[in-house]
Amino acid sequence: MIRVRFAPSPTGYLHLGNIRTALFNYLFAKRQGGKYILRIEDTDRDRSGLEYEQALMDDLRWMGLEWDEGPDVGGPFGPYRQSERLQIYQACVDQLLAEGKAYECYVTPEEVEEMKHLAKVEKRTLHFDNRGRYFTKEEIERRKCRGIRPTVRFKIEKPLLKIHDLIRGEVAFNLDDMVGDFIIRRADGTPTFHLAVCVDDALMQITHVIRGEDHLSNTPKHILLLEALGYQPPQYGHLSLVHGPGGEPLSKRLDSISVRFFRQKGYLPHAVANYIALLGWSPGDDREVIPWEELKGMFDLARVSKSSSCYDPQKLDWLNGEHLRLLSDKEFSDFAMKYLKSKEKMEDEEMVLKILPAFKDNIERLEQLAERLQFLKEDFSYEEAAWIRNDESRELFGQAISVLDEMQVVGNDFYQNFLDQLKKRVKARGKNLMLPLRLAVTGKVHGPELKRIIPVLVIEFLRKRLRRALHA
């Protein structure tokens, strides 16, 4: 049974990069009929926050990345919050200590700093020189008396290591010129990330660790630690990182790439998933617009790219438009109504519901919908007022109003009749006819065809809009 996990630390909102790791894990598990586990890595108490954990789960669910085991839903390998597993880690540290595979290290942070500084000016490899490993009993006693609390460091005894990465293939490391003995328990008694991940991956029986490339260099440490603990390491696959549009690294502070931002702007979760799946993965043929249900059956780790990529908001917009068009009118209306209502109170729900479908082919984000529907309220403004404020247009509006006044039947061909009558009275045609009209009723230059909008509007409403334009 394949078991994968997504293990975020609740130190900020989920962004594109995080969610991509989650998505790839999820897709991988679904395709293989495996389990996808959510684990909260909150060993850094200072930076972790419960509100972030809540937000993170909320965002994950919005994306459709529902987990099989996790802190709120439970599961056979819980608890799934690292802060609740402290005794487990402690037991592992004790075991390593007892077996001589780790040691208490009385070197202070200041000493480490100094050591590094020295290495830098002497242009030597700068990593911990393991000095704490060789302190005499007396030295340790002296330090204890000075009140120094020890960290626990893991002994690196097998520096040469070759790993097989699911995405990158063979990668060879020599720990000797990378790191020294590394800390697995801080002086305050809390475990570090390295210890916690290894213990949890082992105990939760994770078979495949799919994570960001930033962990590639950590992998040899993790394998060593796992082996020392007596566990068979999982298989590792390291995903290349995603960068911002300009190639800058993604940061938690950049909120234009957070899931919350995508939600707010009115993107479809499945479109976002589709887009980020395409960032570093391709199905192999030319397909790009891929519905969620299909995507779940298509994903293949072997087709994941090794090189990193840049986020392109324009392509996301296009793809979101495509997904919007994949929706039925009903689905679109439901989704749009939910979004609109979350934004502000809606007074004329019935009217909105009627014209909503007309906009489906026309927008890329729901945020645009809110803008374009402004004209339903009384206080909307005209986008390019120059098209309205000229004599020809005023003449047009005046005539349009009289046409409305004289029209009795409001049937199916109401729009066509209206236009025919209007054309008999004014000489404006084409752009000079349609654009001022569009502006008068919708306030915007862009939008669906007028023949889709005008027929669903109430005649009284139309009259009101034309009058307003006349005096604008």
Partner RNA sequence: GGCGCUAUCGUCUAGCCUGAUCCAGGACGCCACCCUCUCAAGGUGGAAACACGGGUUUAAAUCCCGUUAGCGCUACCA
Query: C-alpha 386: how far from its chain's center?
Result: 41
Q: Could you tell me if 403 and 409 are in contact, meaning their C-beta atoms sit under 8 angstroms apart?
A: no
Is 252 noted as a catalytic residue in this protein?
A: yes
Q: By the 8 A CB rule, do 374 and 380 touch? A: yes
**Binding-residue pattern over the window 216 to 245 for RNA, x denoting contact by CB under 7 A:** xxx---------------------xx-x--
The size of the interface with RNA (CB under 7 A), counted in residues, is 89
For RNA, the closer CB: 212 or 346: 212
Task: Scan residues 444-463 and list those touching RNA (CB under 7 A).
Answer: 445-451
Among 31, 423, 425, 463, binds RNA (CB under 7 A): 423
Question: For tokens 């972030």, what's the residue?
Answer: 52
Question: What type of residue sits at position 131?
Answer: R
CA angle 443, 449, 454 (to 5 degrees): 70
Cβ proximity to RNA, 117 vs 341, nearer residue = 117
Terminal-to-terminal C-alpha distance of the chain: 69
Cβ proximity to RNA, 128 vs 375, nearer residue:
128
Q: Given 116, 252, 296, 464, which residue is catalytic? A: 252
Q: Which of 255, 331, 413, 420 touches RNA (CB under 7 A)?
A: 420
Whether the CB-CB separation of 107 and 211 falls below 8 Å is answered with no
Minimum separation from the CB atom of position 347 to RNA (A) = 26
| 37 DSSP β-pair partners | 5, 69
Residues 163 to 192 in contact with RNA, rule: CB under 7 A: 168-169, 171-174, 177-179, 182-183, 186-188, 192
Interface residues for RNA in 388-417 (CB under 7 A)?
A: 416
Shortest distance in whole angstroms from residue 42 CB to RNA: 7
Helices and strands, counts by H and E, the chain = 19, 11
* Positions 3 through 62 that interact with RNA (CB under 7 A): 7, 9, 41, 43-44, 47
Strand partners, 36: 4
> Which two structure tokens, joined as six digits, stand for 77?
């390998």
- Structure tokens of 1? 């049974």
Minimum CB distance to RNA smaller for 1 or for 121 = 121
Give, as ranges, the residues between 337 and 366 that touch RNA (CB under 7 A): 361-362
Ranges within 102-141 binding RNA (CB under 7 A): 107-109, 112, 116, 123-128
Among 95, 264, 308, 374, binds RNA (CB under 7 A): 308
Tell me if 264 contacts RNA by CB under 7 A.
no
Q: Which of 247, 348, 402, 407 binds RNA (CB under 7 A)?
A: 247
Given 100, 147, 297, 430, the residue binding RNA (CB under 7 A): 430
Cα–Cα distance measured from residue 211 to residue 234, given in angstroms and rounded to the nearest whole number:
12
Q: How many CB atoms lie within 10 A of CB 374?
A: 14
Q: Which two tokens stand for residue 252?
A: 């938690």
Radius of gyration, alpha carbons of the chain: 31
DSSP 247: S
- Least spacing, CB of residue 108 vs RNA, in Å: 5
Binding RNA by CB under 7 A: which of 6, 89, 92, 151?
151
At residue 360, φ and ψ (nearest 5 deg) are: -60, -40
Nearer to RNA, 264 or 362 (CB): 362
Contact criterion met (CB below 8 Å) for 440 and 357:
no
Of positions 90, 130, 205, 309, contacts RNA by CB under 7 A: 309
Q: What's the burial of 40, exposed, middle or buried (CB within 10 Å: 0-12/13-18/19+)?
A: buried
Q: Identify which of residues 142 and 446 has a Cβ nearer to RNA in the complex.
A: 446
Active site residues: 252
